[in-house]
Amino acid sequence: MKKILTTLLLLGNFAFAQVNGNKNIITRTFALENVERININFYAKVTIDLSAEEGMTITTDENVMNLIAKDVVNNTLHLDQKEWIEPSQATIIIGAPNLRHVQTGTHDVTKIINIDNDYMKLTAPVGTIILEGKTTEFRLGVELANVDASNLVAENAFINIWSWGNAKVNVTNTLNAEVKDGGKLVYVITPKKIQKKTRNNGQIVSLETSKTLKNPEAEWIHFNIKNNNSNRNNFFVVGPKKDGSKFGYGFPMMPNATRKENWTVGTKVYKVNRLGLRKLLITITKEDENTTVNLF
């Protein structure tokens, strides 16, 4: 029985073994057709160009290239991983002139540029997303992401921000927005009409007003954090900023690894499980400055 259990455990470990990039960097191009939506669930620096010819270029390690899922179903491009991989680098450039909707599922950076259409939608649970161009109608849903749409000129916008999400928008005609649970929306120019609703410390403010919001207790300090655990873990950090907003992003750490950080007092670090659920581990205090903080 012990041999059977040992064998099963070994098989389980192999099934979830991580494939690390071999640092032999290659670039491949893939054809796309009539892509109107992109779902991003693979960690990479992604640039989506609406003025470029339709297609996709991926630059990453040779041994993980074929482990990146890149399927198009019902005009939707799904970017994901077939196995648990850790590339040394990953860059994706997509030409998508028919694009209407992007959804981000990673904490990496996504740029959507040269927008020139009548409708653009972004669903951003997490990540850092930058948008540039112009559109008639912009729809935005944000949970924990940071969205900079200050260079996307939208005639009308419908915005929903919850949790600690942050967004900056540029709307000329009508802004319809609801922000709650510590989220923050900044409009860089004042639109002709604003319909807004805030709850549970949500903020909807002009760019000028946002500069006056202060959180003096959000002092930045230097220290180290250590994953004092025998497993590779994924973490998510959320911290206050002096302007009243919050920063947040995710990151992995190998067993017993240490990394330097510069966060604010009051920053919280969560462990993220495979289902995306978070468990609070620590809250940074002033006493942690210039020390090494164990996460477990």
We report the CATH number of the domain holding residue 267 as 2.60.40
Separation of alpha carbons 61 and 21, rounded Å? 5
Considering the domain boundaries, does residue 8 fall inside one? no
User: Within this chain, do residues 202 and 233 fall inside the same structural domain, yes or no?
Assistant: no
What's the confidence (pLDDT) of residue 242? 80
User: Within this chain, do residues 192 and 273 fall inside the same structural domain, yes or no?
Assistant: no
- As a whole number of Å, the CA-based R_g of the chain is 21
Separation of alpha carbons 124 and 143, rounded Å? 6
Residue at a domain's end among 187, 210, 233: 210
User: Within this chain, do residues 62 and 44 fall inside the same structural domain, yes or no?
Assistant: yes
User: Within this chain, do residues 175 and 241 fall inside the same structural domain, yes or no?
Assistant: no
237, containing H or E segment: strand 233-240
Considering the domain boundaries, does residue 5 fall inside one? no
Considering the domain boundaries, does residue 14 fall inside one? no
What's the confidence (pLDDT) of residue 248? 82
275 token code pair: 């289902």
Torsional sign, CA 108, 113, 117, 118: positive
Considering the domain boundaries, does residue 10 fall inside one? no
User: Within this chain, do residues 57 and 160 fall inside the same structural domain, yes or no?
Assistant: yes
User: Within this chain, do residues 78 and 183 fall inside the same structural domain, yes or no?
Assistant: yes
**Which amino acid makes up residue 14?**
F
Separation of alpha carbons 204 and 212, rounded Å? 13
User: Within this chain, do residues 231 and 206 fall inside the same structural domain, yes or no?
Assistant: no
Residue at a domain's end among 210, 241, 267: 210
What's the confidence (pLDDT) of residue 10? 45
Residue-range definition of the domain harbouring residue 144: 20-210
Separation of alpha carbons 201 and 185, rounded Å? 12
What's the confidence (pLDDT) of residue 8? 46
Local structure of 92: helix, strand or coil: strand
User: With contact defined as beta carbons under 8 Å apart, do 44 and 64 qualify?
Assistant: no
Provide the 8-state DSSP code for 19. Answer: E
What's the confidence (pLDDT) of residue 224? 95
Torsional sign, CA 279, 284, 288, 290: positive
93, containing H or E segment: strand 90-95
User: With contact defined as beta carbons under 8 Å apart, do 97 and 104 qualify?
Assistant: no
Rounded to two decimals, the pTM is: 0.76
Q: How many CB atoms lie within 10 A of CB 215?
A: 15
User: Within this chain, do residues 284 and 193 fall inside the same structural domain, yes or no?
Assistant: no
User: Within this chain, do residues 261 and 168 fall inside the same structural domain, yes or no?
Assistant: no
Domain count, the chain: 2
Domain of 119: which CATH number? 2.160.20.120
What's the confidence (pLDDT) of residue 13? 44
What is the layout of strands, in order, in the sheet containing 268-272? 246-253, 233-240, 268-272, 278-283
User: Within this chain, do residues 224 and 77 fall inside the same structural domain, yes or no?
Assistant: no
What's the confidence (pLDDT) of residue 214? 67
Ramachandran bin of 278, using left for φ above 0, alpha for ψ from -120 to 50, beta for the remaining angles: beta
User: Within this chain, do residues 126 and 255 fall inside the same structural domain, yes or no?
Assistant: no
User: Within this chain, do residues 54 and 151 fall inside the same structural domain, yes or no?
Assistant: yes
**Regions of the chain with pLDDT less than 70:** 1-16, 213-214
Q: How many CB atoms lie within 10 A of CB 139?
A: 19
Separation of alpha carbons 179 and 88, rounded Å? 37
Q: CA separation (Å) from 226 to 10, 257, 260? A: 28, 6, 9
Residue at a domain's end among 164, 180, 210: 210
What's the confidence (pLDDT) of residue 276? 81
What's the confidence (pLDDT) of residue 5? 45
